[in-house]
Structure 1
Amino acid sequence: MSESGVVLGDDGLARPAWASVDPLLRDYYDTEWGVPVRDERGVFERLSLEAFQSGLSWATILRKRPAFREAFADFSPDVVAGFGDDDVARLMDDAGIVRNRAKVHATIQNARATLGLREDPEGDLAAYVWSFRPATTPVPRTQADVPTTSPESLALSKGLKRKGFTFVGPTTMFALMEAIGIVDTHLVGSHRRATSGVWPDQK
């Protein structure tokens, strides 16, 4: 790894160490992480998966993502909001996903809260989450420079909790903001830095 914190891949592209070995993580980094997501279903899916990831590796969640999508009706908030006890039992028997009862219940609760947000003057889930975009984004040169929370992620966490969401702590919300492009924490030397269109001048 260079002093810049990035690793040069065999394809000549620079990435952080965490995205340089596992092909699954490398593809996710190159094609998804930090790419803007502005639709309700997409934000709900990522919010849900970030909650399931708590205490686990992101690679574990990515490998299980197809099973998660099947189990949770492709993360349709309208469908998941209607899940009942039989669905919880089904999910707890599904070895393809992370079988954590509290997180399963949180996903159902968050789907119901997502439907409630549609009536909010601040907009649906996607609009609400994006309303916490900061005025500036971090400019990390090494992984140690990447923050794990921010004033905006703390405010988003508090705001979502007030609106009935759970498993939305400030660290989880910062990870969500990174994943959907609200902040750009790609390392300065990475080939993905400032490519989202949200922060074009932050190289």
Structure 2
Amino acid sequence: MFGIHDLALFVVSGLLLNLMPGPDSLLIMTRSATQGWRAGSAATLGIASGTFVHILGAALGLSAVLAASATAFTVVKLVGAAYILYMAIGLLRSKAQDGVQAPLALAPLPYRKIYAQGFLTNVLNPKVALFFLAFVPQFIDANAPHKALAFIILGCIFNINGTLWCHALALFTGAASRRVKLHPAASLWLKRTTGGLFIWLGVKLALAKQN
């Protein structure tokens, strides 16, 4: 439907990526630890808003450039597969000491400023835009009639799942305060599991026959 394929694989991959620690999760944990779960949720909503900006920008840009060319879209998919393999190698080479430590204390802020902080943290991160351009097209058929619509649907699924996880992280961190941190061994396990999945996905996509 809508030219989308392997939706279950997309959802699983997205969930693993959302579970991995990064700048967004660190901001949420920090704000939840210092001001409570509502502050973490405010940061989460800002991050989700920033993600929608990346989704819409990537979808519209991709549609404008590639709408008339299935061949060009296939090239984008292959370049994206190569980028996924590059990310996978980096994840597999991760070391245990790369784990996210306990959040640092920050001065309290109004929720609207925390929202803006989450928004800017996400929307100004070029790696997020690059991720969507590389990852999402892998699950859209090259001959799909409405690529932008398929892109937006997949992006929304990814963003909704990520927002639910981030709200849960805010609630959990707020309840446990500063004692919460992701153990380095757990962080390493998540990174290597995701790296292994991405190796398989990248090879599968690179070798797949295009429609």
- Relative to the length of structure 1, the TM-score reads 0.28
Structure with more helix by fraction: 2
- Relative to the length of structure 2, the TM-score reads 0.27
Q: With CA pairs under 8 Å and 6+ residues apart, which has the higher RCO, 1 or 2?
A: 2
